[in-house]
């Protein structure tokens, strides 16, 4: 269940959120922190630097359109949420592996269909990695080794592909 970080004093430094100074001054309350099992999806656009170099405004506009029309609806439809975006990628989490894999396959299929009429140098192709692990949720963000593993898996995926951990494969294969 949820747990809270204790108040900590750090001599000689200004207290941060949830800490109490050596003088006992109160600060902002500690952020709510919880640990939970999560299916973690990390995606990144393959060759984004090339796309931006060719047509920066067009690439940014097209990626935003695909995120709004394809990526976000596929994630929401399976009970997932986008935790954060960063330039040409995003981090999402789901309650289970099956939902994450299903969303990833729908995203890749829809993006491939969007790419069909485009010249190869204008195509937006995602690499997606998925891993299931315990994560720490704090202030809406997720952190932990599972996030790092999902990021490594994403880098192993082919453009347009999905790379999953053995745990995700085992869980998704039986449903």
Report pLDDT for 105: 96
Task: Return the DSSP state at 60.
Answer: H
pLDDT at 87: 83
SS3 at position 115: helix
| Mean pLDDT, each 10-residue run in order, the chain (175 residues) | 40 46 58 88 93 89 93 98 93 97 97 92 93 93 94 96 95 82
Closest CA to 118 of 66, 43, 44: 66
Q: Please, what's the b/e burial string for 58-69 (b: 16 or more CB within 10 A of its CB; e: otherwise)? A: ebeebbeebbee
163 near 156, Cβ under 8 Å?
yes
Please tell me the distance from the alpha carbon of residue 35 to that of residue 87, in angstroms, as a whole number. Answer: 27
Q: Does residue 172 contact residue 97 with C-beta atoms inside 8 Å?
A: yes
Show the tokens assigned to 151: 């990021």
Q: Count the residues in the chain.
A: 175
Closest CA to 123 of 136, 108, 135: 108
Is 128 within 8 Å of 155 (Cβ atoms)? no
pLDDT on residue 135 = 95
User: pTM, whole model, 2 decimals?
Assistant: 0.80
pLDDT recorded at residue 1 = 42
Sign of CA dihedral 165, 170, 172, 173: positive
Residue 29 phi, psi dihedral angles, 5° rounding = -65, 150
């Amino acid at each position: 269940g949820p747990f809270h970080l204790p108040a900590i004093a750090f001599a000689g430094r200004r207290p941060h959120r949830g800490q109490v100074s050596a003088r006992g001054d109160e600060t902002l309350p500690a952020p709510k922190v919880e640990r939970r099992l999560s299916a973690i999806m990390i995606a990144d656009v393959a060759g984004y630097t090339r796309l931006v170099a060719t047509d920066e405004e067009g690439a940014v506009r097209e990626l935003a359109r695909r995120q709004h029309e394809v990526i976000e609806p596929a994630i929401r439809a399976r009970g997932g949420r986008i935790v954060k975006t960063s330039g040409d990628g995003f981090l999402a989490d789901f309650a289970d592996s099956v939902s994450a894999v299903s969303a990833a396959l729908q995203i890749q299929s829809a993006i491939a269909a969007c790419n069909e009429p485009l010249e190869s140098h204008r195509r937006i192709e995602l690499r997606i990695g998925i891993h299931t692990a315990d994560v720490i949720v704090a202030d809406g963000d997720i952190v932990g080794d599972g996030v790092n593993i999902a990021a490594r898996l994403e880098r192993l995926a082919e453009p347009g592909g999905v790379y999953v951990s053995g745990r995700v494969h085992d869980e998704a294969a039986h449903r």
